[in-house]
Structure 1
C-alpha cells in the first residue's frame, strides 16, 4: 500500500483494478511465506516451549492437523498463483518487471528458510526480511501503479529496510528459548535479549527519524508530525526495555506489539503525508 500511495503522490494517477491485483499478490505472498516457513521450521517449532500468536509457527503440524507434505504443496500452489496473477497483470498493463519482482521475493524466502543458505538458522536472516518486506514490496506497489520506476524514492527505501529488519527481530523475541534450543541464530540469540530489544528501538527511531527520505519536500511541521506520531509507541516500549524477556510472556508480547505498532504507524504517517502533500499541490495548481 505504501508503494502504491507514493506512486499516486508522484504521478497523480491511480487504478483500483491494479490496487486489487497488487493486494491479491500480497495475500498470496503472505500465505506462501506462512506455509513455506511452517514446513521449513517444523522441527524447530516442535521443540519450542513457548509459542505465541506472533511466533513459533501455526502449530498445525505439531498438533497433527496437517501433514508437512500438505503445507509444502500449499506453498507451491500459492507461489504458482502469485506468478499467474503477476503474469496476467503484466500482460494486461505491460508490467513486465512484475513477474521478475515476484520471483525475486520467492528467492529471498528460499534463502531465508531453505538449504543451502537457510539464513534464518545460520544468522542474518533479518537482512533478507529487510530487503523483501521493507524494500521489495513497496517497489512492487510503486511499479504496478506507476508502470515504471521513474521518481521512485530510492533513498526512502532505506528507512523501509530498517522497518522490515526490525520486524524480523521483534517477532523472534518471544521465540528466544526455542531458537536457542534449535540452534537458530536469530538476532536475540546472537546478541542477547536485552541488546536485541535495545537495538530494535534504536533502529525504529532511526527509521522514523529519516521518514523525510520517503516523503520528500515536506515543510518542517510535516516532518515533525511524521516523526512525533510513530515515536509514541517506541517511547512506551522503552519503559519495558529491561524487563521484557521471553520468560516474562505478557510483557514480551506487549513490547513486540508496541514496536510493530510503531513501524505500522510510521508507514501510515508516510502515506498520509504523501496524500496530503499531493492534494495541496493539486489544489495549488488548480487555483493558479
Structure 2
C-alpha cells in the first residue's frame, strides 16, 4: 500500500461486511463482483449468435465451457484489479466512490479477505481458464489459443505491474479489446475459424463496455490521483475527459450503422441503435455533473442498461437472422 495514502474512509452502509458471509464459498463468489459479470455473459451470447447467423449449428457441449471460461477470466480480472488497487492505495484513498459501481469490491478494505489471499484467488481463477481454453482449442482449432492468450495477458496487464495499462491511460483500449475478444472467441469455438461477423457485431458492444469503465473513473478520480493511478480521466481532468464518453458512444453507434449499411450486419441489428436513447442522456448527465461525481449514479445505471440492452438486441438480431 502506498505509504502516502490517507486512511480509508468509513465504509458505506451498503458495502460488504464480514458477518454477511457465512461460508468461504459465499465470500469468494461475492468477491468476484458477480453482477458485473453480466457484460461477459452478453458478449458470449453475441459471439454464439454471430456463428448461428452464418449457419453454424451451436454445440452446447462447447458453448457452455466457453461461457464458464469467459466468466472465470472476467472474475479473475476483477479480483486481481481489487488486489492491485489495494496495494497501490487507490481504493483506500477513494472517498468519492459510488458503491457498488466504483471503488472496488471493498473486500480487502473491510476485512473480508486479506490482500494476499485475494491475489492468490484472482490468479487461481485466471489459471483455471488455461486448461479449459486448451481443451476448447482441441475442439475448435489453434486460433483459439491466440484469442485466449491475448485475453489473459490483457486481463493481467490491465492493473498488474509492470505494465499497469490502466495507470497509463490505456484502460479503455484494453477493455474494448478484451470484450471484443470474448465475442470473437465465443464465435470461433463454434465456427472453428476467424470471421468478420463477430468483429462487426462485437465492436459497438465492446466500446459501450469501455464507456462503463470510463464513467466509473469520475467518482474515483481523487483517489486514483492521490495513489498515482493516472487513468484517462486523471490525465485529462474531469472537465476535458467528460467529452470522451460522448465520443466513445458516438463511435459505437456509428460503427453499428456503418456495419449495417455495408451489409456486414442484418437490418434487424438496427434495433440495437435504439439504446442511444439511454446512452445520450447518460452523456448529458456526465457533462453536467463531471465536477460533482456524487451525482453520477443515475448516469452509471443508464450506462449499464444501455450496454446490456444493446448487446442483447444485437444477439437477438443475429439469432433471428
Q: TM-score range by the shorter chain?
A: 0.7 to 0.9
Would the alpha carbon gap of residues 10 and 254 (structure 1) be closer, same or farther in structure 2, given more than 3 Å must change?
same
What is residue 260 of structure 1 aligned with on the other side? 304
Give how far 1:25 is off: 0.9
Would the alpha carbon gap of residues 118 and 273 (structure 1) be closer, same or farther in structure 2, given more than 3 Å must change?
same
CA distance in structure 2 between the aligned counterparts of 1:199 and 1:82, rounded to whole angstroms: 33
Give how far 1:210 is off: 2.4
CA distance in structure 1 between the aligned counterparts of 2:312 and 2:63, rounded to whole angstroms: 17
> Match of 2:289, SS?
coil
What is residue 77 of structure 1 aligned with on the other side? 124
The number of residues matched between the two structures is 271
1:175–1:246 Cα contact (<8 Å) kept: no
2:47–2:182 Cα contact (<8 Å) kept: yes
What is residue 24 of structure 2 aligned with on the other side? none
Would the alpha carbon gap of residues 79 and 238 (structure 1) be closer, same or farther in structure 2, given more than 3 Å must change?
closer
Q: TM-score scaled to structure 2, two decimals?
A: 0.77
CA distance in structure 2 between the aligned counterparts of 1:7 and 1:54, rounded to whole angstroms: 33
Deviation track 1:208-230 (CA, whole Å, cap 9, x = no partner) reads 232142773534xx465332x21
| Equivalent of 2:264 in 209, 216, 222 | 216
| Equivalent of 1:185 in 214, 224, 230 | 230
Give how far 1:163 is off: 2.5
> Match of 1:45, SS?
coil
Q: Where does the alignment leave 5 or more consecutive residues of structure 1 unmatched?
A: 279-288
Q: Where does the alignment leave 5 or more consecutive residues of structure 2 unmatched?
A: 1-44
Would the alpha carbon gap of residues 238 and 28 (structure 1) be closer, same or farther in structure 2, given more than 3 Å must change?
closer
- Match status 1:103 vs 2:142: no
Give how far 1:5 is off: 0.8
CA distance in structure 1 between the aligned counterparts of 2:231 and 2:162, rounded to whole angstroms: 17
2:201–2:265 Cα contact (<8 Å) kept: no
1:12-51 → structure 2 map (5 Å cutoff): 12-42=56-86, 43-51=89-97
Of 19-28 and 146-155, more deviation after overlay is shown by 146-155
Return the structure number with greater helix share: 1
- Match status 1:55 vs 2:102: yes
